[in-house]
Chain A
Amino acid sequence: MQRKKRGWMFYPLAVVIGLLSGLFGAGGGVVAVPVLRGVGLAEDEAHATSVSVTFPLAVLSAFLYLRAASFELSAAWPYLPGAFLGALLGAWLLPKVSSAWLRRIFGAVIIFSAGRLLLR
Chain B
Amino acid sequence: MSWILIGAASFLSAVLGALGMGGGGILVLYLTAHAGVPQLQAQGINLVFFVPVAVVALCIHQKNRLIHWGIALPCIFLGAIGVYFGVKLAMLLEQKLLGKLFGGFLMLIGLRELFAKSKSPPPRVDKNEK
A48 touches B22 (CB 8 A): no
4 closest pairs, A vs B, by CB?
A22-B86, A86-B14, A26-B24, A25-B43
Chain B residue numbers with a CB within 8 Å of A8 are none
**Of all chain A residues, which has the CB nearest B10?**
A82
CB pairs A–B below 8 angstroms (15 shown): A24-B101, A27-B109, A29-B17, A48-B61, A61-B83, A68-B91, A71-B40, A78-B6, A79-B27, A84-B56, A87-B57, A91-B61, A105-B21, A109-B21, A109-B22
| CA A87 to CA B13, docked complex, whole Å | 9
Name the B residues within 8 Å of A33 (CB-CB). 20-21
Q: Chain A contacts of B20 at CB under 8 A?
A: 29, 32-33, 46-48, 50-51, 54, 94
Complex partner residue of B48 from A15, A62, A88, A115, CB under 8 angstroms = A62
Interface residues of B (CB under 8 A from A): 3, 6-29, 32-33, 37, 40-61, 64, 66-69, 71-72, 74-76, 78-91, 98-107, 109-111, 113-114, 116, 118, 121-126, 129
- The answer to whether A86 and B17 touch (CB under 8 A), given A51-B57, A55-B58, A58-B54, is yes
* Cβ-defined contact, A40 with B125, below 8 A: yes
Chain B residues whose C-beta falls within 8 Å of the C-beta of A45 in the assembled complex: 66-68, 124-125
Total contacting residues, chain A, CB less than 8 A: 101
Q: Could you say which residues of chain A place their CB within 8 Å of the CB of B42? A: 25
Q: A26-B28, A75-B41 are in contact. Are A107 and B103 (CB under 8 A)?
A: no
Q: Which of A17, A28, A110 contacts B110 (CB 8 A)?
A: A110
Interfacial chain B residues near A102, Cβ < 8 Å: 19, 21
Given known A-B contacts A61-B86, A109-B16, A18 and B81 have beta carbons under 8 A apart: yes
Complex CA distance for A108 and B45, rounded to whole angstroms: 24
Asked if A58 and B47 make an inter-chain contact with CB atoms under 8 angstroms apart, the answer reads yes
> Please, which residues of chain A bring their CB within 8 A of the CB of B107?
110-111, 114-115, 118
CB-CB under 8 A for A30 and B22, given A21-B79, A23-B89, A78-B6: yes
Other contacts beyond A15-B78, A90-B23: 12, CB < 8 A: A3-B125, A42-B122, A42-B125, A45-B66, A48-B66, A58-B50, A61-B47, A64-B83, A75-B37, A76-B48, A85-B11, A86-B11
